Chain A
Amino acid sequence: MTARRIPWVLIVFLFAATIPWVGTRYDTFLAEQIAIDALFAVSLNLLLGTTGLVSFGHVAYFGVGAYACGILMKTYELPFIIAFPAAGLCAALFALVSGYFCVRLIKLYFAMLTLAFSQIVWAICYKWNDLTGGDQGLPEIPFPNLDWMSSIPGLGDLRTNEQFYLLAIAIIAVCLAILYRITQSPFGRVLTTVRDNPERAAFIGVNVRAYQLAAFVVAGTFAGFAGALYGIFSRGVFADYVFWSKSAEVMIMALLGGIGFFWGPSVGALALVWLNQWITDFTQYWPFVLGTILLILLFAFPGGIVGGLHDLWIRLRGRRRA
């Protein structure tokens, strides 16, 4: 049990915060990508692992957040401190409207409707030139004004993108803490009853659809936050970000890390981004490698990386006791 007491999360966060100093520019770039993907994947897992809702269209809320933040900051020149919450709000509202319809369907039909909504978002982003830049996208989204950060001793020497990295991981840490708190709350517990057995949940007094919708909105909001950060991080928002294959990618991250554990999807994001970088150095057949990894994972470690490690830990502990 003593191993449980090690504050892994804090250690990882502190380590991540030192990367601009100890790592290369490319390390910082990768770490930021991983952190944003981690938030995106954990938000999806509130639906997938906690509520038992398989959404194939989670990228829609990521995209709404990215575009909302990008448009507000570039076109309307609003500061980040307004644009960022507004992006979450837009994603939440869109999740409320689309979720209202989606939770009326079950299983595969639910999944297909979420996919349909995400393709609608993609089509709008791709075609509405005046607002979204259409197929040209929205390049050159400005960084937030980070002058206040430069006045903090030690941070003044960093480049703007490194300062933004620190801001981003701080925001992501707060978002993940909130999501964690939610999964540990009474609301989170009720979501697990809906996942396990909706019929029984209704007969302990749970309004199943209302809870599913609430989970959908919360997950959408945090996906929106992830999207908003991603738009600034990659210095532009493009229709590609909203394409449905992105939904598959984030779902693979969640499965790879393990949907039965809160931190599983974060580990999946780390593994996938890192594997992608590492393997593309050797071969151009990344999708082939990814497919093989997934295949092995689904059959040998259905609990994902974290699930596999957890089982191993239980087995080792059992052996030590015996």
Chain B
Amino acid sequence: MTCGSDCEAAAVLEISGLSKSFGGFKAVSDVSLTVETRQIAAVIGPNGAGKSTLFNLITGHLQPDTGKVLLDGRNITGVAPHRMCRMGIGRSFQHTNIFPKLTVFENLQAAYLVHHGRGANFWRRSDSLYRTETTALLNSIGLLDQEDTIAGTLSYGNQKQLELGLALASDPRILLLDEPTAGMSATETENTIRLLERIASERDLTLLFTEHDMEVVFSIAQKIAVLHQGKIIAEGLPEAVRADAEVRRVYLGHGLVHER
């Protein structure tokens, strides 16, 4: 980082006035949100609140009807996913998204090859490229002992770990995680949270994630935005959000403070 003391408060991701309708249904309406450098921010909300749609708008999988997404002040609205990845956005998906027929090692190595712009090289043997980096990352996400396993045969929790590794290999400025603990057991959830915390601090990462498990959210998020029916109804420090009357009403009204 070359910036001085004001770097701390600089916004990595700025979303302003983002809206998206499907037919007549407003999935996301006028959402604005700022995530600062090295912040761990969460978007929470009941199922169907528009969390995934919001993520897909940010990462270019969907085109917004209105609004802008800025990364380090640069407009990246509607940029193709592969470009966005190269600009420094890493993401994981709600439904695990890995390369199931490749080995764990090959999964991450492929991500390094692409990140370093070697993908168009059709003559060198790929075996020996980026071994050190890949091994280090495997170690960091705790999958080193499984490096030769075919990724599709990993346990669900391990697949999620691998997916995190895929997102990290492109050395992102900000990591967007769509429900990183969805479908996990209590132990797996706990491990994942610890892993995320450690990796975020090791790599000075900025994190934005969606989640419906309140315990997960309050244990690591420094900033929380509550999405309800496509709108942000509260935003701020975890304690403030927890105390917010509107949030309590929405969550209690749905009876799902703990959804699962």
- Neighbour of A206 across the interface among B101, B109, B114, CB < 8 A: B114
Total A-B contacts with CB atoms under 8 angstroms apart: 105
Measured CB to CB, the nearest residue on chain B to A214 is B120
Within 8 A of A (CB), among B91-144: 91, 93, 97-102, 106, 109-111, 113-115, 118-127, 129
Q: How far is the CB of A264 from chain B (nearest CB, A)?
A: 15
| Bound Cα distance A193, B167 (Å) | 14
Within 8 A of B (CB), among A139-185: 181-182, 184-185
Known contacts being A182-B122, A197-B99, A200-B93, is A190 close to B110, with CB within 8 Å? yes
Known contacts being A190-B110, A205-B170, is A196 close to B122, with CB within 8 Å? no
Residues on the B chain within 8 Å of A15, using CB: none
Known contacts being A185-B121, A193-B110, is A200 close to B126, with CB within 8 Å? no
Interface size on A, residues (CB 8 A): 27
- Neighbour of A197 across the interface among B84, B98, B109, B114, CB < 8 A: B98
Residues on the B chain within 8 Å of A208, using CB: 82
Please determine whether B98 and A205 come into contact, CB atoms closer than 8 angstroms. no
- A192 interface residue (CB < 8 Å to B): yes
Residues on the B chain within 8 Å of A206, using CB: 82, 114, 119
Q: How far is the CB of B104 from chain A (nearest CB, A)?
A: 13
Q: How far is the CB of B7 from chain A (nearest CB, A)?
A: 26
| Bound Cα distance A181, B100 (Å) | 23
Interface size on B, residues (CB 8 A): 39
Please determine whether A196 and B169 come into contact, CB atoms closer than 8 angstroms. no
Measured CB to CB, the nearest residue on chain B to A52 is B101
Known contacts being A185-B122, A187-B121, is A193 close to B82, with CB within 8 Å? no
Please determine whether A200 and B97 come into contact, CB atoms closer than 8 angstroms. yes
| Bound Cα distance A196, B90 (Å) | 19
Please determine whether A207 and B93 come into contact, CB atoms closer than 8 angstroms. no
Residues on the A chain within 8 Å of B98, using CB: 196-197, 200
Residues on the B chain within 8 Å of A181, using CB: 122-123, 125
Residues on the A chain within 8 Å of B169, using CB: 204
Residues on the B chain within 8 Å of A197, using CB: 97-100
| Bound Cα distance A214, B119 (Å) | 11
- Neighbour of B99 across the interface among A185, A192, A202, A207, CB < 8 A: A192
- B242 interface residue (CB < 8 Å to A): no
Please determine whether A192 and B127 come into contact, CB atoms closer than 8 angstroms. no
| Bound Cα distance A184, B124 (Å) | 8
Please determine whether B99 and A190 come into contact, CB atoms closer than 8 angstroms. no
- A188 interface residue (CB < 8 Å to B): yes
| 15 pairs, A vs B, C-beta closer than 8 Å | A184-B127, A186-B126, A187-B120, A189-B126, A190-B119, A192-B110, A193-B110, A196-B101, A199-B93, A200-B97, A203-B81, A204-B110, A204-B111, A205-B82, A205-B86
Residues of B within 8 A of A (CB): 59, 80-82, 84-86, 90-91, 93, 97-102, 106, 109-111, 113-115, 118-127, 129, 163, 166-167, 169-170
Give me the 6 closest cross-chain CB pairs, A-B, nearest first: A187-B122, A196-B99, A202-B81, A204-B111, A205-B85, A190-B119
